[in-house]
Amino acid sequence: MGDIATLANVSKPTVSRALRDSPLVTAETKALVLEIARKHGYAVNRNAQKLRDKHTNTIAVVADFKSFPGSRLADPFSFELLADVAQALSMRNKDLLLCAPAEESHETYQSILASRHADGIIFLGQGQRDPMLRQLAKTDAAFVVWGAVAQDQPYCAVGGANVRGGELVGARFAENKRRRAVFIGGSDKHLEMKQRRLGFEKAFIAKQPSATVGHIAVSDFSYESALAAVTAYFEEKNKTEYPDAIFAASDTIAMAVYKALRDRGLSIPKDVSVIGYNDNPHAAWCSPSLTTIRQDTRQAGSLLVEQLMLMLEGRKPQSIMIPAELIVRES
């Protein structure tokens, strides 16, 4: 910056002001400085800026790419969410630091903020880290979470209306006169999964009091483990006990269900209805196309960013639920 100043025959502060388009410098000087800076490919050093300004203008985004080490991709839903968060941040001119932390402790995340790596954190996926997040909330850390929105939560979360989503599925199965429904998804440690299951069971049984509801637990949300879980389930039941409706907690799991049903020669939806969650692109493309629950990731992304910005301005953020919509297709 000193060089530019010399070249323009002004002082460093003037260059700084010109570059930040301050009203304190003449249009003439401004133009001169800008021209010289451009010509020499000069760009202000962001690190000096960050040091001086004491804020970094960047947000750390924590995403779990792999549902477990060595597996293939997590559900594409996470990526849509990431893409939409990225867009929301870029609209506010914030930089996005993508984190896949090695160690999962609140100290790790505190130090991201303490070291001025980022001004705030967005967690894409609450998963099983609720206890850690509660710890983190005790500090003055600025963060928001995509996940279940609950009553007693000491931190700000934005998430789908999971209970409602479950209810929609339960009601739909009931309407179609299904009698042996099964939920397949994660354990109750996963708050979102628990909400979906609860809403589902309640709504289904309310309308079909004499029907039954089962539960298949999967350890992670990969296709492989879901397939293993469903297969095991079928193998220990005899044919008369087979479900006639399956609610999969994600579309990826639903694909594993499709496979298991096809292997057994069961037809979808005649023998068994299937409903998924998230409305992955290919839910619409597969055959039969998959009925599923859609959550608007675009809206989710911008709400997450919006609430975090509120926190950074010192204002109070709000936990928000975004609607769940049943997309009825063939399954």
Partner DNA sequence: TAGAACAATGAAATCGAAAACACGAGCAAA
Partner DNA sequence: TTTGCTCGTGTTTTCGATTTCATTGTTCTA
Contacting residue, 1, 7, 34, 86, with a copy of itself by CB under 8 A: 86
The amino acid that residue 197 corresponds to is R
The amino acid that residue 35 corresponds to is E
Question: What distance in Å separates the CA atoms of residue 74 and residue 226, rounded to the nearest whole number?
Answer: 13
Asked whether position 240 contacts a copy of itself by CB under 8 A, the answer is no
Count interface residues toward a copy of itself (CB under 8 A): 50
Partner that binds at residue 111, options DNA, a copy of itself, none, CB closer than 5 to 8 Å by kind = a copy of itself
CB 61, min distance to DNA, A: 24
Asked whether position 225 contacts a copy of itself by CB under 8 A, the answer is no
Angle, alpha carbons 283-284-285 (nearest 5°): 95
CB 78, min distance to a copy of itself, A: 9
* Polymer length in residues for the chain: 331
Q: Which residues bind DNA (CB under 7 A)?
A: 1-2, 9-14, 16-17, 19-20, 23-26, 28-29, 44-45, 48-49, 51-54
Contacting residue, 16, 29, 34, 116, with a copy of itself by CB under 8 A: 116
Contacting residue, 29, 117, 207, 214, with a copy of itself by CB under 8 A: 117
Q: State which of positions 264-303 bind a copy of itself (CB under 8 A).
A: 281-282, 285-287
Cα first-last separation, the chain: 64
Residue placing its CB nearer to a copy of itself in the complex, 101 or 154: 101
Asked whether position 140 contacts a copy of itself by CB under 8 A, the answer is no
Residue placing its CB nearer to a copy of itself in the complex, 51 or 328: 51
Residue placing its CB nearer to a copy of itself in the complex, 103 or 236: 103
- In 7-108, at which residue ranges do the beta strands (DSSP E only) sit? 58-63, 95-99
The residue whose two tokens read 């323009």 is: 8
- Per DSSP, the three-state class of 239 is helix
Contacting residue, 83, 206, 232, 328, with a copy of itself by CB under 8 A: 83
Q: State which of positions 13-42 bind a copy of itself (CB under 8 A).
A: 41-42
Residue placing its CB nearer to DNA in the complex, 16 or 225: 16
CB 79, min distance to a copy of itself, A: 4
Tokens found for residue 229: 């879980």
Question: What distance in Å separates the CA atoms of residue 146 and residue 82, rounded to the nearest whole number?
Answer: 11
The residue whose two tokens read 């099983």 is: 128
Choose among 177, 230, 240: nearest CA to 204: 177
Burial class (CB in 10 A: 0-12, 13-18, 19+), 291: buried
Asked whether position 177 contacts a copy of itself by CB under 8 A, the answer is no
Contacting residue, 61, 148, 249, 300, with a copy of itself by CB under 8 A: 61
CB 60, min distance to a copy of itself, A: 9
Tokens found for residue 179: 């009698």
Residue placing its CB nearer to DNA in the complex, 25 or 261: 25
- In the chain, at which residue ranges do the beta strands (DSSP E only) sit? 58-63, 95-99, 120-124, 143-146, 156-160, 180-185, 212-217, 245-248, 273-275, 292-294, 320-322, 325-327
Asked whether position 114 contacts a copy of itself by CB under 8 A, the answer is yes
Asked whether position 168 contacts a copy of itself by CB under 8 A, the answer is no
Radius of gyration of the chain (CA): 25
